[in-house]
Structures are given as C-alpha cells and as structure tokens.
Amino acid sequence: MKLLEVKNLCITDIKNNEEIVSNVSFELESNTCLGIVGESGSGKSITTKAILGLINSNLEVTGSAKFREIDLLKAKGNVMRKIRGKQVCMILQDVMSSFDSLYTIGYQMIETICENTNVSKPKAKDIAIEALDKMSIREPEQVIKKYAHQLSGGMLQRCMIAIAMSMKPDIIIADEPTTALDCINQKEVVEQFKYLREITGTSVILISHDLGVIKHLAQKILVMKDGKSVEYGDAKDVLKKPSHEYTRYLINTRLDLTEEFRKSMTMEEVV
C-alpha cells in the first residue's frame, strides 16, 4: 500500500526565482524504507522538510505530496500539526541540539510521548523505558535520569529513534541519523534501526550521503543531484546496475573510501 506519493515537487526561492528542487517524484510503500542519497546541497533535506511544511517562507513549494488522501503541500496548519510528530516523525542529524540540555532525557521523552499520544505520565514513562530497551540500551531506568551531555552521540541518536518509534508513526524521516557518529556507533545504530523497523513495520525515509547505510536499510533508492532526481528505483537494481553516471560515481567513491579505510587499518597493523 502506498503511504506517501510525492509528484513533481518543486521548491523555488522567491527572492531570486532560483529553483532549488526540480520535479522530484517518489513513493513510499508501507513497511518499507526509501533511501535518499546525494552529495551535500543536493536537496535531500529540503525535499522532506517541504513535505512537512518545515521550510522558510521565502521558499515556494509546488507539486503534490499525498499522505493518506491528504495533500500535505496544501494541508492547513492544524491538519499538519496533527500529522507531524504523530503520524510522520522526523529525526534530525544534530541529536545534541534536538535535546534540551536543561532537562533529563526521560523528562523530554515523557513530555513528547504525552503531548503526542493520549497517555498518562506513568504510562509514558513505561513506554519510554520499553522503547529504550528495544533499542538495546542497557539500564534504561538509569539512562532516563541523565542529561544529554552525559550520553554519547550514539546513545542520544538511539534515544531519538526510540522516542520516534514509541509514537508509533506511519512514517519516520531520518535525516543523516548516523553522520555525526563514529564507525562503531554508526553500525550499532543502523542495526538497531533496522531491527526496530522490522518489528514495528514503520516505514522510513532515510536521508544519507552514505550508500553503505542506505544499502543496509533501503528497498528503494532515490539519487539526487543539484536539486534533481537522477535515479530512482529498487535498491538492488540501482546498486547493481546504476543507469546514471552520478550514481556510478557515488558507488565507486564509496568503494574507494572503504578500500582506503581498509588499507589504512592494514598499514597501522604493519607499523
């Protein structure tokens, strides 16, 4: 079943009439993951933010983005507020700034869960602990008493994913969820994310410049370059037989990097 259908999405900066995103179309089926890949500035984030009405007023958005028969690009503020955070959640790249340093992780989790679902605070606490437990966070009862600066980036990202998942949304949009993490944390977060997606059935739009991460999670891939969609299709086909030169470049760059990394590790062993 189609959960989200984006057609001919265009974003124009009305100040200088510059088109930032041109005619981007894609679909998200239920219980699947769509990976959006492309270099920095290619329009990945702004495309998904536009769908959720989260962009500046100097930007004009045209096209359509149908979610359960509602065109999100035309949805009024109150309709959008009901969808955003409940049915469609967004996890941002910079987890540190997503948490308020003055409140404990638990306080923020409980507030968010209460605000977006109809449960009491004790119930929200149980949900928060259960969600952290599902993200394989040890001693969740202790973790919820901590402040953001007391946890690693990987732990915070897992807490963020746990909050989003505990809302039981139809769609999670994760914008570069592993970029700020080191290799070990990246791998762990991807594994947990994959596991949670499988058990909850939540559909995910995963934005990343890292094809390795996308490959691990996505069934479909959209490749963006300079605000345009240059390739879109089943992940296996895109990765095995990329039809666009830019996709081939991304795949090769990724392989080069992996090779360099492997070599540098071997060199260290030799030294």
Nearest to ligand ATP of 38, 63 (CB atom): 38
Q: How many CA atoms lie within 13 A of 116 on its CB side?
A: 23
Supply the minimum distance, in Å, between the C-beta of residue 19 and ligand ATP.
10
The burial of 183, by beta-carbon neighbours within 10 Å (0-12 exposed, 13-18 middle, 19 or more buried), is given as: exposed
Nearest to ligand ATP of 47, 202 (CB atom): 47
Supply the minimum distance, in Å, between the C-beta of residue 33 and ligand ATP.
18
Nearest to ligand ATP of 46, 127 (CB atom): 46
- In 3D space, the residue among 167, 176, 239 whose CA is nearest the CA of residue 205 turns out to be 176
Supply the minimum distance, in Å, between the C-beta of residue 222 and ligand ATP.
12
Token pair, residue 103, equals 């409140």
Nearest to ligand ATP of 45, 166 (CB atom): 45
d(CA 62, CA 42): 18
Supply the minimum distance, in Å, between the C-beta of residue 212 and ligand ATP.
15
Nearest to ligand ATP of 9, 137 (CB atom): 9
Supply the minimum distance, in Å, between the C-beta of residue 96 and ligand ATP.
16
- Interaction site with ligand ATP (CB under 6 A): 13, 20, 38, 40-46, 56, 58-59, 209
Count Cβ atoms below 10 Å from residue 78 Cβ, excluding itself: 7
Q: How many CA atoms lie within 13 A of 85 on its CB side?
A: 15
Supply the minimum distance, in Å, between the C-beta of residue 148 and ligand ATP.
22
Q: How many CA atoms lie within 13 A of 213 on its CB side?
A: 28
- In 3D space, the residue among 159, 174, 162, 155 whose CA is nearest the CA of residue 131 turns out to be 162
**CA angle, 205 then 210 then 214, to 5°:** 40
Nearest to ligand ATP of 38, 177 (CB atom): 38
